[in-house]
Amino acid sequence: MQLSFVFNEKTFSIDTSKPIDISLGVRHDGLGVNCFYTNQALFKPYSAGNFVGNVAAGGVCNVDVIIFTPHGNGTHTECIGHITELQQSISDALLQGIMTVQLISVMPENSNDDFIITKQLLSDCVQLNGAEALIVRTIPNMPSKKRMDYSGSNPPYFTHEALGLLNDLGVKHLLCDLPSVDKEDDGGKLLAHKAFFGEGQKSRFDATITELVYCEDSVNDGMYLLDIQIANFQSDASPSRPILYQMMDL
């Protein structure tokens, strides 16, 4: 199906039969991406009395019980409820699932054995042109990101000044291929999260951060239509499936 829409007074189209899935799913085979020392997702058949939710074990249908951690197992989208006493639900924060987005690629800078994404790096790349969302792909972009266990590896992260810039630019939805926008062990400061979501009177209850996406090298930097799909969880975060569509001029 071809859909057309107007963005910045220009008309574009997308082909809905050509989605670009940039999510990493919650896997049952133990090979999924993992971080913060969380266990891999656990899948087991539901059972009650004589019923077993596994066809291979003689059941009439498959019914899984799944134990997982949204923040640690696969692509997930979170809201300000992640860092505040007011545990806002991601379902209340992400009311607009379809939006325009800019995809950029950056190489984090080495700083005292940390690799950081700075305000200057983003300033050099971000050209939103009215888009409300930004995807940051880090270089190098190895396929091993799809099954990485980041626990204890001190992966790259954003400085709080960098995410303060995105707040100032009006970026409501940030997506990245990192386990967190903050340093893995920052003593609980979460300065980048706080800079992006805001605090107090400047709190942004309609902003989201999506972590652990993966954009293949074949997906070029530029503008796309983005559809962030989430489960309707009453929690600060949900496993998510961001989908991109190539924007074509009409």
| Whole-number pLDDT of residue 236 | 96
Give residue-wise pLDDT tens across range 149-171: 999 999 999 999 999 999 999 99
Pairing of strands 98-106, 133-138: parallel
Q: Is the pLDDT of residue 198 over 80?
A: yes
Partners of 45 in beta bridges: 64
Nearest CA among 155, 161, 158 for reference residue 184: 155
User: Which residues, in sequence order, are CB contacts of 205 under 8 Å at separation 6+?
Assistant: 79, 80, 88, 92, 93
Q: Is the pLDDT of residue 250 over 90?
A: no
| Whole-number pLDDT of residue 231 | 93
Token pair of 76, please?
């997930």
Q: Is the pLDDT of residue 118 over 80?
A: yes
In order, the DSSP letters of 24-62 are: ----SSS-S-B-TTPPPPEEEE-EETTEES-GGGT-SS-
Q: What domains can be seen in the chain, in order of their start residue?
A: 2-26+70-249 (3.50.30.50)
Give residue-wise pLDDT tens across range 172-191: 999 999 999 999 999 999 99
Give residue-wise pLDDT tens across range 54-110: 999 999 999 999 999 999 999 999 999 999 988 899 999 999 889 999 999 999 999
| Whole-number pLDDT of residue 200 | 73
| Whole-number pLDDT of residue 87 | 83
Q: Is the pLDDT of residue 201 over 80?
A: no
| Whole-number pLDDT of residue 62 | 97
- Give me the residue label for tokens 């992640």: 82
Q: What is the arithmetic mean of pLDDT over 194-215?
A: 93
Q: Is the pLDDT of residue 129 over 90?
A: no
